[in-house]
Structure 1
C-alpha cells in the first residue's frame, strides 16, 4: 500500500512530507544503499514483521510478492512493482507475509527503511534466490 507524500515549495526552499503516515508502530529505522544500480537486493522478507520504505535520495524500484508458504512458496506468485522517488515522501507499506526485491534506479540512491520489531527481537527473516520465482524482475 502506498501512502502518497507531498511537496511544498516557496522562496525558502522545499519541504517533502507525509502527514498520513502513522509512525506509532516503528521500533527501528535504517537506510539502505545498493553499491550499483545493476544490483537487485532480494528476495527477502518476513512472515511477522512489517516494513515501510521511503526513497530519500534518487529512485528505487521495489518488487513485492505475498508469499503463500514460507517453507516452500509457489514459484508463480503474483509480483507487484512500485517506483519510489525522492520527489515526495511517499511510503510503501510492506505487510507481514511479503518478500521484496529492491533495485536502485540511479547511482547513489538511498532508501529509508522502518520496521515494527527491534533487531534480534524475533527470528523472522526469509530469503529466496533471485531466480526462484518465474516472473522476471
Structure 2
C-alpha cells in the first residue's frame, strides 16, 4: 500500500503542555477530500465497498476500528473466496491505513462512539468508481 506498507505509524509526544499526535511520514499531497465515519454501533459493519481507481487513507480519531481489506481483480463478479487482511486502528496513534485502488473494505467500530477520519484522492463525483457488495457476499464474513 503506501511505501509497500499498509500502515503508516504515527507518533505521540507528551509534556507538561499536553499531547501532540503526529504522522510526519504521511504524504497528503494527493488528498482531495476528507470526511469522517461514525458507525451507529459496534455490531454494525459498513461494507463491502470498493474502488478500482480511487485510493483512501484512514486514521482513528476516537475509539477503535477493525478494517477488513480485500484486493479485487474483477469488480463485476469478484470471487467469493477472496481473503481479507484485517487491520486495527485505535485513537491516540494517528496511524494511517492506506487502502490502494483495486480494494474493497468492511469497517467495524470496536468501541462505542468511535470516529474514523478518511482521506480520498478524488473529489466526490469526480469519477464513477464505487462498487458495493452485500455483507455476506464473501465467504470471509
TM-score range, shorter chain: over 0.9
CA distance in 2, matches of 1:135, 1:42: 12
- Residues 76-105 of structure 1 show CA distances to partners (whole Å, capped at 9, x for unaligned) of 112100000012100000000000000001
Q: Any gaps of 5 or more consecutive residues in structure 1?
A: none
1:75 is aligned to 80
- What stretches of structure 1 move > 3 A for 4+ residues in a row? none
1:58 equivalenced with 2:71 (yes/no): no
Equivalenced residues, count: 136
Q: CA-atom RMSD, angstroms?
A: 0.6
The answer to whether residue 40 in structure 2 is matched with residue 40 in structure 1 is no
1:1-137 equivalences in 2 (<5 Å): 1-136=6-141
**8 Å CA contact retained: 1:5, 1:91:** yes
- Whole-angstrom distance in 2 between the partners of 1:106 and 1:31: 16
Query: Any unmatched runs of 5+ in structure 2?
Result: 1-5
What TM-score does the superposition give when structure 2 sets the normalisation length?
A: 0.95
Alpha-carbon shift at residue 135 of structure 1 (Å): 1.5
Q: Normalising by the residue count of structure 1, what TM-score does the alignment of the two structures yield? A: 0.98
CA contact (8 A) 1:68 1:74 kept: no
